[in-house]
Structure 1
Amino acid sequence: LAKRFCSTYQIRADECLNSDQGWRRNIVVSLKVLERFAHDGHIERIVTDMQKIQVPAPMSTALRDYELYCRDRRHLRATTLRERTREIAIFADFLGSRNITSFDQMQPADLCAFVTAQHRLSAKSVSRIVSDVRCFLRFLLMRGILQQDLSHVLPVVHVPRDATIPSVWDPEVLIKLLEAVDRTSPKGKRDYAIFLLACRLGLRVGDIRALSLDDLKWETATIEVRQSKTLAPLCLPLTEEVGEALIDYLRSGRPHSDHREVFLTLNAPFLPFREADSLHWIVRHWKAMAGIHFRTPQRYGLHSLRHTLATRLLHEQTPFQVISDILGHATTASTLIYAKTDVETLRTAALNTEEMRHV
């Protein structure tokens, strides 16, 4: 019935909406909530309302100490630190709902109940939450707040490594996307340069977002960045195509600003993109303008353009080590996942079913 409803109203998850059609964007999510209500008999917020989280006062000191420990001793990135402290705060709020006011009152049954309460989440999400809580329990043991190691009580949530196939764009579809960009407008100039950095150089979204004017080495025709994910330096060639797009944006599209980030918002006060912005909306806008509809459902954010570059290089028989260097991977193990997307090469490794039957 839900599928018929979406079909009748021609609702697509990736459609580009006008300002008066915002209600359509919530339809798919609303139907999923309704499905959970029909199954479980109650409704839960999809995103935890952190303003309603209540951490018992005796636990607050330990949380602040753990945050400082992760920042100063573990040197976690700001985004990782925020996510981890958020999950621990939710964990502390859960303990509070079970009348536990200090961490030394925890019992194995409380940990099991917390993990069970996450059953609506995907295995990958539960695995991350359990890992965060396990690290926190070890911190409490190290500080003497816990007298016994409870980390082993938490289950190991098995998530198959590299079980998914990266989403990639067909070459002709990618060309169609780039051709749809209006390069006469400031928005088009900016977005076109962003697209090329992703699909020609394979830069991560975080590195594109934080790209500084100082990272553009015009005299050596290179882009030199410190990767936001690994903090390792990365040097990439500033090709003529990418260089011309950047120059066009910097000269005719970028507003005057004291900010050193290359890419800024289009409206005053012309700020850099927010740290958590995936820039997915940029792809969605020009994908809709190009009238692109994929044959099968797939991801189509900026990261998929990075996947597309890796797949193209692999199809051109580029060595894995070279691809790994271009993408800024710490090891080639992370690059091997792209072998799954090179279907034509995989065909050569397929077994002959007739031969195998005789064997």
Structure 2
Amino acid sequence: MSRTILAWLPERGVTNVRALSGSDIAAAVIFLGGRYKPGSMRTALSAVRVVCRFLEESGHCAGLGWAVPRQVSRRVRFVDVLPAADVEALTKSTNMATSQGRRDKAMLLLLLAARTGLRPVDIVGLRLQDIDWAQGQITLTQHKTGAVLTLPLLADVGEAIADHLLHGRPAGVADEHVFLRIHAPHVGLTASDLYWVTAAAFARTQTSPRPGTGRGFRVLRAPFATRMLEGNTVLPVISGALGHRGITSAKHYLAADDRHLRDCCLDFAGIEPREARP
């Protein structure tokens, strides 16, 4: 990082490190911002602070550290939300005459991502004992957070899982995972396997997600969250359903709630332009 900054400084007209000022460091930070992504800038800024501290403690310069920002704003990406009709088409696209079709139906519907918002790794990790048929709920320990999550077993999800277990899942297999490979060896699936399940559903329905969002199960977590927002569900409940540690991780879904965002819009009363521009 020192070499990068020192190599750039002559472009600013600084050829002697003893002549460095806080404004030069601030300009260097802006320069680095054009080379690194927001996530990487956190590491870059830590390195810049070390450089500044070294120069200050060596007696070469003073007042450099204050020019390094303490925080870096995170880039918030637009949340792409599939229309409800597209989500429904995806869940109905499997061939229910085959074992694979029943399994994929259960995963797409239980899609636990379209109905309950589970992460792919938690879907493949779902075990038979995690489903409480009597109480009508699913209880599991999340792979990412380690927290225990309890979700209601919705009627259509329960029916899809039951159909899979009775007519689609390989019989006589000791593996306790709900979803297994159709062909031997009959073992639990991986999160990457779920990508192909969803990608195939997108291909069958010719549904096109927004470029850059992918075709995996994660695309279907956003519709789940935004449907809850549309139903006036409070953010802590949505965050809990998605398995987040706090509400911060769920806030970016607010950008997809057009109806409530419109309520926040202000008019131009009091800030009208003084004269019309040509």
Q: What's the TM-score, normalizing by structure 2?
A: 0.70
- 1:182 counterpart letter in structure 2: N
- Distance in 2 (alpha carbons) for counterparts of 1:278 and 1:124: 31
Bigger relative contact order, structure 1 or 2 (CA pairs below 8 A, ≥6 apart): 2
Indicate whether 1:178 and 2:91 are aligned: yes
Who is 2:189 aligned against?
Answer: 273
Root mean square deviation, CA, Å:
3.3
In terms of fraction of residues, the more helix-rich structure is 1
**Residue among 174, 183, 199 paired with 1:258:** 174
Which of 207, 216, 221 lines up with 1:292 in the alignment? Answer: 207
Find the counterpart in structure 2 of residue 166 from structure 1.
79
State whether residues 90 and 108 of structure 2, in contact with CA within 8 Å, keep that contact through their aligned partners in structure 1.
no
How far is 1:358 from its partner? 5.8
**Would you say the 8 A contact 1:167–1:300 is kept in 2?**
no
- DSSP 3-state at the match of 1:225: strand
Aligned length: 225
Paired residue type of 1:268: A
Query: Are the equivalent residues in 1 in contact too, given 2:95–2:102 (CA < 8 A)?
Result: yes
What is the CA distance between 1:156 and its match in structure 2? 9.0
CA distance in 2, matches of 1:156, 1:249: 55
1:126 and 1:175 mapped to 2: Cα distance? 38
Tell whether the 8 Å contact from 2:79 to 2:222 is kept in structure 1 after alignment. Answer: yes
Instruction: Tell me which residue corresponds to 1:218.
Output: 133
Identical columns (%) = 32
2:37 equivalent in structure 1: 123
- 1:109 is displaced (CA, Å) by 5.9
Distance in 1 of aligned mates of 2:201 and 2:164: 17
**One-letter identity of the residue aligned with 1:174:** V
Q: Secondary structure at the match of 1:161?
A: coil
How much has 1:220 moved relative to structure 2?
1.1
State the Cα deviation string for residues 50-92 of structure 1 (Å, max 9, x = none). xxxxxxxxxxxxxxxxxxxxxxxxxxxxxxxxxxxxxxxxxxx
Distance, in Å, in 1 between the alignment partners of 2:70 and 2:81 is 28
CA distance, structure 2, for counterparts of residue 181 and residue 355 of structure 1: 56
Match for 2:243: what amino acid? G
1:190–1:263 CA contact under 8 A, matched in 2: yes
TM-score normalized by structure 1? 0.55
Aligned residue number for residue 245 of structure 2: 330
Unaligned runs of 5+ in 1: 1-106, 114-118, 135-151
Which structure is larger by alpha-carbon Rg, 1 or 2? Answer: 2
